[in-house]
């Protein structure tokens, strides 16, 4: 029987399934393993069911036991894994695409609504019982007729586009390539990022994290936005330069932000705390029972397919 290290605690149904298939080492306390401990625990293991919180850099991968043949990442992203190092060791890396699209898109829309309608301020006032209605109390931005710029029109971007369109928003997008008219569904393509930003009353960051997209939203690119734009991020924290975005908030170049991800999670840049207009969530994108169950099941499916065939349709390296 193959031996699998599971680095983070999964939902009970997923762990029960794993027990029927493999000799597994579970993380019952759901502790965040150090790289040293992860290497130690992977001794004699054939595979690792890893999480986005595991830092599997080149040094860590180089020190993994020779028995490890696959890293099945419990996430659609795989920025935590050095793919080049895994390739050199002939270790397969897989991810869990598609199953978290709907849940993450819902959070993307929540970020847009929360930032535009000043939800963070409203929640605090309601909890403090110190608000008083007036015609101009907590006036926010209405979505109807507002231009939504989507950076990265993949599965999640397209789902956000569909929901936002039903709310009356006008959709623009920037992608590595133009989509077919059917997939665009009326969205307007911008070949250049600067062009997209210049028409984005609201920006939704949905692109994958990569070397090319690190800090792609920065001091220079933020200047292309219309004054008073809203910036939201449902992708990865590395895509946005926090200091530049906070500076844009300070200068009121940016009206509000909605973030589900940010650099240094869970430690939030204190600059955001100065702004009532910052609507920030603790990385809830895929956090529904249905989605987390499906993600883990797909990570298990990836292990099964790999061990049976030596290949996997969700292999990313």
Residue with tokens 């939201």: 232
Confirm whether 89 is a catalytic residue.
Answer: no
Residue with tokens 């403090």: 128
> Which entry of 265, 275, 292, 304 is annotated as an active-site residue?
265
Of residues 96, 74, 73, 99, the one with CA closest to residue 86 = 73
Residue pair 148/174 in contact by the 8 Å Cβ criterion: no
Confirm whether 106 is a catalytic residue.
Answer: no
What does residue 215 show for φ and ψ, rounded to 5 degrees?
Answer: 55, 30
**The two structure tokens encoding residue 18:** 């794993």
Query: Residue 135 half-sphere exposure, CB side, CA atoms within 13 Å?
Result: 0
Q: How far apart are CA 36 and CA 24, in angstroms?
A: 19
Confirm whether 283 is a catalytic residue.
Answer: yes
Q: How far apart are CA 9 and CA 30, in angstroms?
A: 5
Q: What is the DSSP pairing of strand 229-233 with strand 3-6?
A: unpaired
> Which entry of 117, 147, 283, 292 is annotated as an active-site residue?
283
What does residue 280 show for φ and ψ, rounded to 5 degrees?
Answer: -125, 130
Identify the helix (H) or strand (E) that includes residue 36: helix 35-41
- Order the strands of the 47-51 sheet from edge to edge: 23-25, 3-6, 47-51, 70-74, 92-94
Residues 6+ apart with CB under 8 A from 252: 227, 228
Helices assigned H by DSSP within 42-186: 58-62, 83-88, 101-116, 119-128, 155-166, 181-184
CB atoms inside a 10 Å sphere around CB 190: 21
> Which entry of 236, 252, 292, 304 is annotated as an active-site residue?
236
Strand, coil or helix: what is 232? Answer: strand
- Which residues belong to the active site? 236, 265, 283
């Amino acid at each position: 029987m193959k031996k699998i290290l599971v680095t983070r605690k999964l939902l009970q149904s997923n762990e029960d399934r794993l027990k029927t298939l493999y000799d597994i080492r579970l993380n019952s306390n759901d502790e965040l393993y150090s790289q040293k401990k992860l290497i130690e625990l992977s001794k004699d293991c054939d595979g690792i069911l890893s999480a986005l919180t595991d830092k599997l850099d080149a040094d860590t991968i180089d020190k993994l036991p020779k028995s490890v043949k696959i890293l099945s990442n419990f996430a659609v992203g795989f920025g935590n894994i050095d793919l080049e190092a895994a390739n050199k060791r002939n270790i397969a890396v897989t991810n869990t695409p598609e199953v978290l699209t709907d849940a993450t898109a819902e959070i993307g829309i929540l970020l847009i609504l929360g930032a535009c309608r000043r939800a963070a301020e409203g929640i605090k006032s309601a909890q403090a019982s110190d608000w008083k209605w007036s015609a101009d109390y907590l006036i926010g931005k209405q979505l109807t007729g507002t231009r939504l710029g989507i950076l990265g029109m993949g599965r999640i971007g397209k789902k956000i586009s569909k929901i936002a369109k039903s709310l009356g928003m006008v959709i623009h997008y920037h992608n590595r390539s133009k989509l077919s008219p059917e997939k665009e569904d009326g969205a307007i393509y911008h070949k250049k990022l600067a062009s997209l930003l210049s028409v984005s009353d609201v920006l939704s960051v949905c692109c994958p994290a990569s070397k090319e997209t690190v800090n792609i939203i920065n001091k220079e690119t933020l200047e292309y936005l219309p004054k008073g734009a809203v910036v939201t991020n449902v992708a990865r924290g590395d895509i946005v330069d926090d200091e530049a975005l906070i500076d844009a908030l300070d200068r009121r170049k940016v009206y509000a932000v909605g973030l589900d991800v940010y650099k240094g999670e869970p430690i939030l840049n204190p600059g955001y705390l100065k702004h009532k207009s910052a609507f920030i969530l603790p990385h809830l994108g895929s956090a529904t029972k249905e989605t987390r169950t499906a993600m883990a099941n797909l990570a298990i499916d990836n292990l099964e397919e790999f061990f049976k065939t030596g290949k996997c349709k969700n292999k990313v390296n």
